[in-house]
Amino acid sequence: MPDPHPSHAGHRPGSGWIIIAAIIVFGTILVAGTISRIHSRHQLHSGNVAASVPTVTVVHPGGSAVDTLILPGMLQAWYSAPVYARTSGYLKRWYVDIGEKVQEGQLLAEIDTPDVDLQLAAARAALGTRTAQRDLARITSRRWDRLNAQNAVSQQETDERRGNLAAGEATRHEAAAEVGRLETLSGFKHIVAPFSGVVTSRATDIGALIVAGTSTTQPLFTVSDVTRLRLYVRIPQAYAARMRDGLVTHFTVPDYQGRTFEARLFHSSDAVDSQSGSMLVQLIYDNTDNLLKPGAYAQISFTFHGHGEMAAPSVRIPASSLLFRQDGTTVAMVDGSNHVRIQHVSILTDFGTELEVTGLTPQSLVINNPMDDIRDGDEVKPRENGHAS
């Protein structure tokens, strides 16, 4: 009798579970792949977004302007006069040598002037002759005036005698002037000090030929007043506006190592030299103790204390951080959320690679070398580069 429920050929128990497991595995692989692709796409998007945010170098502004400026200078005497001979001859005697102190009008040397002495004697003799001729003309003129009053002589003859008197008077004045000139020239045989000071040079000796009035004439002496000294120094244009009369400075000299001297600004040229870009200033040092010498080299130290108590605080930034826009001079700053903030600044002093400006604080984060197209609100990634020097 046949089986009412015959079994199908090839059917094995548990084959359905295998199919289900395969489906689950396939689905898992599909889901994992999908998730992986989504994650990769998200990472790619994040990378693109991160790449679009530029990295910038930021610096903290430095302190206020350079406090100390050291420059070379040269000491010069308050007065320095080369003493020349005004008459020719031979040096008869000198009375002072280098380093000696002299008073105004003190005799320094004498010149023997035989030629001038003879000329003076001749001029005085000529003056005597002219005086005698003038006196004779005066007597003659008076005599002819009396005769003319008696109608004894003509008016023409009387006028001629008066003319002779006037001519005689004029020639006598001429002779007297020549005597005065030669007396003055003879007085120059005495070389005297033009003012009180120190003899800093002597370029003659006894018997030396003195020739006055030529282009090759050398000074016989040099007298210098060294009770005060002038100190000349050239200031860069960046500091020219800070030069004020009475500014106290300090300087050193090689012959007094470790010692500092004080000088005050006396005057400035108030003009910047176009070739050197500097301004000449004059300092005064009280040399009553006669410690320093004219012509000496010095190193002058200028110390500045900002731009005044009422001035806005200033800081230093690199010149490369400036942005020149239509609305003025600005810099790009980074705020706490790493976004750009455009800040207006005012330039006080240009030091070349650095600028002294107002409008910032030492805590500001200033972008160095900002992009030309940087805008307010742009997101950036700051990378600090320290403080401005």
pLDDT of residue 316: 84
Range with lowest mean pLDDT among 162-171, 275-284, 339-348: 339-348
Query: What span, in angstroms and rounded, lies between the C-alpha atoms of 328 and 113?
Result: 77
DSSP letters, 274-333, are TTT-EEEEEEEEE-TT--S-TT-EEEEEEE--TT-TTSPPEEEEEGGGEEEETTEEEEEE
- Which single residue is written with the structure tokens 């500091």? 239
Q: Read off the pLDDT of each residue in 16-30 and give the average, rounded to a whole number.
A: 75
Summarize pLDDT for 223-257 with one digit per residue, the tens. Answer: 999 999 999 999 888 788 878 888 899 999 998 98
Confidence of residue 52 (pLDDT cuts 50, 70, 90): low
Confidence of residue 92 (pLDDT cuts 50, 70, 90): very high
Amino acid found at 293: K
Quote the percentage of the chain above a pLDDT of 90. 36
Query: What span, in angstroms and rounded, lies between the C-alpha atoms of 112 and 213?
Result: 17
Q: Read off the pLDDT of each residue in 187-213 and give the average, rounded to a whole number.
A: 91
pLDDT of residue 277: 85
Identify the CA nearest to 287 among candidates 75, 36, 53.
75
Residue 255 DSSP one-character state:
T
373: left (phi over 0), alpha (psi -120 to 50) or beta: alpha
Confidence of residue 386 (pLDDT cuts 50, 70, 90): low
Angle, helices 114-149 vs 155-187, to 10°: value is: 160
Higher pLDDT: 18 or 342? It is 342
pLDDT of residue 32: 72
CA 174, distance to chain mean position in Å, is 55
Query: What span, in angstroms and rounded, lies between the C-alpha atoms of 88 and 253?
Result: 42
Strands of the sheet with 89-94, listed across from one edge: 190-192, 107-112, 89-94, 209-210
pTM over 0.75: no
Average pLDDT over the chain reads: 83
DSSP letters, 125-193, are HHHHHHHHHHHHHHHHHHHHHHHHHTTSS-HHHHHHHHHHHHHHHHHHHHHHHHHHHHHHHHHTTEEE-
Q: Read off the pLDDT of each residue in 352-360 and give the average, rounded to a whole number.
A: 81
- Report the 10 Å Cβ neighbour count for 223: 27
Q: Which residues on neighbouring strands pair with residue 62, listed in sequence order? A: 316
Instruction: Please give the angle made by the CA atoms of 385, 386 and 389, to the nearest 5 degrees.
Output: 115
Query: What span, in angstroms and rounded, lies between the C-alpha atoms of 57 and 42?
Result: 29
pLDDT of residue 110: 94
pLDDT of residue 100: 92
**Please, what are the domains in the chain?**
56-64+312-387 (2.40.420.20), 68-112+196-304 (2.40.30.170), 114-188 (1.10.287)
Length reported for the chain: 389
Looking at the predicted structure, is the pLDDT value of residue 213 above 80? no
Summarize pLDDT for 150-180 with one digit per residue, the tens. Answer: 888 889 988 888 999 999 999 999 999 999 9
Query: What span, in angstroms and rounded, lies between the C-alpha atoms of 179 and 117?
Result: 11
Q: Could you give the dihedral angle defined by the CA atoms of residues 286, 288, 291 and 296, in that order, rounded to the nearest 10 degrees?
A: 50
For residue 51 the two structure tokens come to 């790449």
pLDDT of residue 7: 47
Q: Which residues on neighbouring strands pair with residue 333, listed in sequence order? A: 341, 366
Higher pLDDT: 283 or 303? It is 283
